[in-house]
Structure 1
Amino acid sequence: MKIVATIEARMTSSRLPGKVLLPAQGKPMLARMVERLGMVPSLDGIVVATTVNAADDSVEALAKELGIGCWRGSEDDVLARVLDAAHAFSADVIVELTGDCPLIDPLIVEQCVQAYRASGIDYLSNVLERTYPIGMDTQVFATSVLDDVAARTNDPTDHEHVSLYIYRHPELYSLMNLAAPPGLHDPELRLTLDTPQDYELIDTVFSALLPRGPGFSLADILALLRAHPELRKINDHVAHRWV
């Protein structure tokens, strides 16, 4: 069973163009995310799923520099882009992630993968019921499940949001949610990168916690925000774009 993390990343974000390559204490945000995912024991590979647009040449270049996979496909059909990336790199299981989560906690990703492997279900995530902060989003499912989705729907909305069809059809697929333990329960907190305010907060977190090592945890982040409540105010007014 080959388990591969796919990171959807592109330069043409509407609210913060070029966000995945913005600097985070000397490295691009995407590089910081890859660095953290490299600490997930169960992953057999990491692939950036970007677009064929010329603007994303720099994303491909960074992936090559980091020594990870890269697949380029449609900007709008993200489902096909991720599925083709999974096939190109012989993934049996996809750990679906997005490039706006540079603070993703390696331990949480590992827990999601282990829970998926132990459960025998079709789809596991920590977002069916949101209990973790926004930005810890992890979804795990077999490549064969996404093949089935692609065969069942041509709806542009389903193809824009890769796993949407899976969790909207529990009559077809078995689903499981991984809830945050009480100490990490903070569903309103934005640790996602989508606006200049998000960038300010995330870069501040990296600045404060990187000296401990690149694998700092969500618990470390929450402790920092409790010690410095003014940081949370940086982006707490930003409206999240829900699917």
Structure 2
Amino acid sequence: MKKVGIISQARMTSTRLPGKVLLPVGGHPLLQYHVERVQQSGLSLYLATTTNATDDLIANFASARQLPCTRGDEHDVLARYQQCAAAHDLDVIVRVTSDCPLLDGKLIAGSVQAYIQATDERLYLSNVLERTFPRGLDFEVFSRELLEEAFLHATLPADREHVTPYIHQNRSGQVHFQHIMRRADRSAYRLTVDTTEDFELIRRLIEDYGAANLTTDELIELLNQHPELVALNAHIEQKKL
């Protein structure tokens, strides 16, 4: 059996909205929603934060909830993933980011099952390259083999900071791809938190519409029915790699 783990990167020093992952919504920090929804996958979850004193809050959050937490270099997030995967002897890694409080654990679980069934150590499976899901529901699945290869050979700063470009840009020339896609493209919707506008949308979705208990399809239908909510952060541009 392959040992699969979800690794979520988290830090307090976001440039556009510092401390965003611990901002309170509905009486809980955003990170709590992220953790609970990801854990619905039934897979083990690990946090990967930095050694900065500012991220002691992340480590304390993890400790209070008995979540494994790896700490490493702020800018070399790839090394943090490699360190976490090695420490817990993971065979398959699911990469997510902690600024996505409405990730769907069951969607992740189904996609991991498809990955396992493919029996291909060179496979990169995700819903981010051929994007049809809203931002904020992103996940990537890849083998320890591909992670170690990237860790050893990736040299560009963007490769180290963003973890998977070396893999999904197929720098080795030996990566295979599988895309998880929806029939209806809703990639213009933003369910990630990077700005105050993003946070306001997530706050309203959770506090006013019970979004923390909705599936992916239910979340998307809610946004379909409420264009005024979509408009709250429709103008926000995603930061470039």
Q: TM-score, normalised by structure 1?
A: 0.93
Deviations 1:89-138 (A, max 9, x none): 22111100011111111222112211211223421111111111111110
Q: TM-score, normalised by structure 2?
A: 0.94
Structure 1 unaligned spans of 5+: none
**SS of aligned partner of 1:63:** helix
Alignment of 1:180 onto 2:178: no
Question: What aligned pairs does 1:122-201 form with structure 2 within 5 A after superposition?
Answer: 122-169=123-170, 171-182=173-184, 185-201=185-201
Q: Is this contact kept in 2: 1:16–1:194, CA < 8 A?
A: yes
Question: What aligned pairs does 1:219-230 form with structure 2 within 5 A after superposition?
Answer: 219-230=217-228
2-side partners of 1:180 and 1:224: how far apart? Answer: 16
Deviations 1:158-190 (A, max 9, x none): 1111011011117221121111233xx301111
Paired positions, count: 237
1-side partners of 2:133 and 2:224: how far apart? Answer: 16
2-side partners of 1:147 and 1:163: how far apart? Answer: 11
Alignment of 1:111 onto 2:110: yes
Instruction: Identify the residue that residue 85 of structure 1 maps to in structure 2.
Output: 84
Kindly state the Cα deviation for residue 228 of structure 1 after the two structures are TM-superposed. 2.4
1-side partners of 2:101 and 2:240: how far apart? Answer: 19
2-side partners of 1:34 and 1:70: how far apart? Answer: 13
> Could you tell me which amino acid in structure 2 is paired with residue 77 of structure 1?
D
Q: Is this contact kept in 2: 1:37–1:106, CA < 8 A?
A: yes
Kindly state the Cα deviation for residue 24 of structure 1 after the two structures are TM-superposed. 2.0
2-side partners of 1:110 and 1:181: how far apart? Answer: 19
Q: Is this contact kept in 2: 1:106–1:215, CA < 8 A?
A: no
2-side partners of 1:219 and 1:207: how far apart? Answer: 19
Q: Is this contact kept in 2: 1:108–1:136, CA < 8 A?
A: no
1-side partners of 2:35 and 2:13: how far apart? Answer: 20
Deviations 1:187-238 (A, max 9, x none): 111111000000000111111343x8x4421222122223322111111111
1-side partners of 2:18 and 2:181: how far apart? Answer: 32
Q: Which moved more, 1:20-29 or 1:54-63?
A: 20-29
**SS of aligned partner of 2:141:** strand
**SS of aligned partner of 1:111:** helix
> Could you tell me which amino acid in structure 2 is paired with residue 224 of structure 1?
L
**SS of aligned partner of 1:117:** helix
Change (3 A) 1:130 1:77: same
Q: Which moved more, 1:65-74 or 1:222-231?
A: 222-231
Q: Is this contact kept in 2: 1:106–1:217, CA < 8 A?
A: no
Q: Is this contact kept in 2: 1:209–1:216, CA < 8 A?
A: no
Identical aligned residues as a percent: 40
RMSD (CA atoms):
1.4
Structure 2 unaligned spans of 5+: none
Kindly state the Cα deviation for residue 73 of structure 1 after the two structures are TM-superposed. 0.3
Instruction: Identify the residue that residue 100 of structure 1 maps to in structure 2.
Output: 99
